[in-house]
């Protein structure tokens, strides 16, 4: 853990050091602007780590506000670093004999206007990325299953994942989500993990309980844990969710409306912390899951997708990936996961990986969109249809 923290701090310091270096060079001829840049940039760089340390020691609301403010710098530094590196790359290419690059003067490390333009462009990207993050779109997924069920059975469900309630995503974000959920009038609501973040305060936990209790869901609220539920004190986080009326399934199966089996799986974080995660086969045999009826699995991380297909699961709902959240990290995200976002049919299993309804770190999305999933499950031999 210490080695990982040192690596993160080294990367964070190196990236910000590079930006500071280029900024000082570009503004060397304007002392007043240079001083203002040093003060503002230093504040941004220090806000997030100091806020996290302060909040970890004292859980003070000022520390939480400082952390939330500083988190936006994580996105800002990413784009400012990329723009400055691209500028340096073009300047180096311009020095190659036979290469011609337009606007060579703008590529100079001592050109103040080009640095300020890149800084302004980075700020605009973060601003519009924030608007994109806090306004989740509605995604409708219709799935028809050829399984035993009462005649005319149909289920309208809402899928929510990766809210990450805590220092940055406060209860006001959840309040808007609850309103959106109730407007959809679902029969049942599924949570695919990471409802809370590792640093959620007791005050926010209490607000969360009250807000989740306002969800109108006749057939209940069902959830599997995500990795962040484990980071912030697993038993405490799960107790709050259960207090709010959420049925948290830990390698367990439940029957909804008499015809749909719902299985919630422990996250892989349980294994990394020394616990055990049962296989789908073990859960289904122990809890008497009849596969002639529809079977739906909630599994936070979309890993080993051949397992639900081999087990005869009809639907698996996952989250975790955020579909990359920030460009160009979404490109790497696609290489890591077999399906990092969206619908996949694998054998008999319909799989949907949500990009999430919230964000981790800065409330900014530039590589994906926040979403709420309206899932319509019907019984019949029709073909699945995604809208």
| Residue 140 β-bridge partners | 374
Report the candidate in 179, 172, 86, 71 with the shortest Cα–Cα distance to residue 129.
71
Look at residue 300 in the predicted model and tell me its pLDDT. Answer: 97
61-103 pLDDT, tens digit per residue, is: 788 889 989 999 999 999 999 999 999 998 888 777 766 655 5
200-232 pLDDT, tens digit per residue, is: 667 777 888 899 999 999 999 999 999 999 887
First CA to last CA distance, the chain: 43
Pair 280, 307: CB distance under 8 Å? yes
Confidence check: pLDDT of 59 > 80: no
Contacts 24+ apart (CB under 8 A), 65-69: 67/167, 67/168, 67/199, 68/167, 68/168
Look at residue 1 in the predicted model and tell me its pLDDT. Answer: 65
Confidence check: pLDDT of 344 > 70: yes
Encoding tokens for residue 4?
């990982």
Look at residue 359 in the predicted model and tell me its pLDDT. Answer: 94
Look at residue 120 in the predicted model and tell me its pLDDT. Answer: 97
Distance (Å, whole) CA 100 – CA 205: 59
Instruction: State the Cα angle at 355 between 268 and 345, rounded to 5°.
Output: 80
Per-domain boundaries in the chain:
2-132, 137-386
Look at residue 44 in the predicted model and tell me its pLDDT. Answer: 95
Distance (Å, whole) CA 123 – CA 186: 38
Task: Provide mean pLDDT across the span 153-176.
Answer: 90
Confidence check: pLDDT of 384 > 60: no
Kindly state the DSSP code that residue 136 receives in the 8-state scheme: P
Distance (Å, whole) CA 222 – CA 363: 26
Q: What are phi and psi of 303, to 5 degrees?
A: -115, 155
Distance (Å, whole) CA 244 – CA 211: 8
Q: Which pTM does this prediction carry?
A: 0.91
Pair 183, 341: CB distance under 8 Å? no
140 confidence band (pLDDT: 50, 70, 90): very high
Look at residue 387 in the predicted model and tell me its pLDDT. Answer: 44
Look at residue 386 in the predicted model and tell me its pLDDT. Answer: 46
Report the candidate in 223, 198, 180 with the shortest Cα–Cα distance to residue 317.
223
233-292 pLDDT, tens digit per residue, is: 888 888 888 999 999 999 999 999 888 999 999 999 999 888 899 999 999 999 999 998
Look at residue 99 in the predicted model and tell me its pLDDT. Answer: 67
Look at residue 382 in the predicted model and tell me its pLDDT. Answer: 37
Look at residue 62 in the predicted model and tell me its pLDDT. Answer: 84
CATH architecture for residues 137-386: 4-Layer Sandwich (3.60)
335 confidence band (pLDDT: 50, 70, 90): very high
3-state secondary structure of 344: strand
With a CB cutoff of 8 Å and minimum separation 6, the contacts of 200 are 165, 166, 167, 208, 232, 237
Look at residue 53 in the predicted model and tell me its pLDDT. Answer: 85
Going from the C-alpha of 68 to that of each of 51, 61, 92, 255, 293, the distances in angstroms are 8, 10, 37, 40, 46
Q: What is the mean pLDDT of the chain?
A: 90
Task: Provide mean pLDDT across the span 331-342.
Answer: 94
């Amino acid at each position: 853990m210490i080695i990982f923290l040192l690596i993160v701090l080294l990367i964070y310091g190196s990236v910000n050091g590079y930006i500071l270096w280029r900024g000082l060079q570009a503004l060397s001829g304007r002392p007043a602007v240079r001083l203002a840049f040093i003060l503002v940039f230093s504040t941004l760089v220090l806000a997030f780590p100091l806020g996290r340390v302060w909040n970890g020691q004292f859980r003070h609301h000022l520390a939480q506000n400082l952390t939330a403010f500083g988190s936006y710098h994580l996105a800002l530094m990413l784009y400012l670093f990329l723009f400055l590196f691209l500028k340096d790359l073009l300047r180096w290419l311009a020095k190659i004999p036979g290469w011609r690059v337009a606007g060579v003067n703008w590529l100079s490390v001592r050109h103040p206007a080009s640095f300020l333009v890149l800084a302004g462009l980075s700020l605009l990207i973060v601003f519009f990325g924030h608007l994109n993050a806090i306004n989740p779109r509605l995604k409708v997924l219709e799935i028809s299953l050829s399984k035993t069920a009462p005649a005319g059975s149909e289920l309208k469900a809402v899928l929510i994942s990766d809210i990450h309630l805590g220092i940055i995503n406060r209860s006001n974000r959840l309040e808007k989500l609850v309103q959106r959920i109730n407007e959809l009038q679902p029969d049942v609501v599924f949570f695919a993990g990471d409802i809370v973040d590792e640093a959620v305060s007791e005050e926010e936990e209490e607000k969360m309980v009250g807000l989740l209790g306002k969800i109108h869901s006749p057939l209940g609220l069902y959830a599997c844990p995500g990795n962040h539920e484990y980071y912030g004190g697993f038993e405490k986080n799960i107790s709050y969710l259960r207090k709010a009326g959420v049925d948290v399934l830990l390698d367990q199966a439940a029957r909804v409306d008499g015809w749909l089996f719902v299985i919630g799986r422990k996250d892989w974080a349980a294994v990394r912390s020394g616990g055990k995660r049962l296989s789908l086969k073990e859960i289904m045999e122990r809890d008497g899951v009849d596969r002639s009826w529809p079977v739906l699995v909630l599994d936070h991380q979309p890993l080993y997708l051949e397992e639900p297909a081999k087990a005869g699961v009809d639907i698996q709902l996952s989250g975790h990936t955020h579909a990359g959240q920030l460009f160009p990290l979404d490109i790497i995200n696609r290489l890591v996961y077999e399906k990092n976002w969206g619908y996949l049919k694998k054998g008999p299993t319909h799989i949907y990986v949500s990009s999430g309804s919230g964000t981790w770190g800065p409330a900014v999305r530039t590589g994906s969109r926040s979403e709420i999933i309206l899932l319509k499950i019907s019984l019949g031999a029709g073909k699945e249809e995604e809208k």
